């Protein structure tokens, strides 16, 4: 597990908005998994609270995440950028 989702609340709100409109998620497998989990957490919490998507997004990204949701290619990109600094 990871201490939180490593995206901004604004990005989480956009993900939720896209999923609410049934727009296909054409991102990488790991990103789709993360996005689906964020939307699932939103659906579970929206019925219990009268908060906006933005307010719930702040809470959701601060929740523990099961993993970093990052693939090998992204790790390679990050390491490559770090080496070039």
Q: What digits encode the pLDDT tens for the residues 19-70?
A: 999 999 999 888 999 999 999 999 999 888 788 999 999 999 999 999 888 7
| Residue 84 binned pLDDT confidence (cut-offs 50, 70, 90) | confident
Per-residue pLDDT tens digits for 3-15: 999 899 999 999 9
What angle, rounded to 10 degrees, do the helices at 29-46 and 9-20 form? Answer: 80
* 2 strand-pairing partners: 65
pLDDT at res. 82 = 87
Q: How far is residue 25's CA from residue 69's CA, in Å, rounded to a whole number?
A: 15
The pair phi, psi for residue 83, each rounded to 5°, is -65, -30
pTM of the entire predicted model: 0.81
CA-closest candidate to residue 17, choices 44, 48, 45, 38:
38
């Amino acid at each position: 597990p990871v201490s939180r989702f490593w995206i901004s609340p604004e990005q989480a709100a956009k993900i939720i908005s896209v999923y609410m409109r049934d727009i296909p998620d054409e991102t990488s497998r790991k990103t789709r998994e993360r996005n689906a989990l964020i939307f699932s957490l939103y659906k579970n919490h929206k019925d219990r609270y009268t908060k906006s998507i933005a307010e719930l997004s702040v809470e959701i990204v601060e929740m523990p995440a099961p993993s970093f949701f990052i693939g090998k290619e992204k790790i390679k990109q990050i390491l490559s950028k770090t080496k070039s600094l």
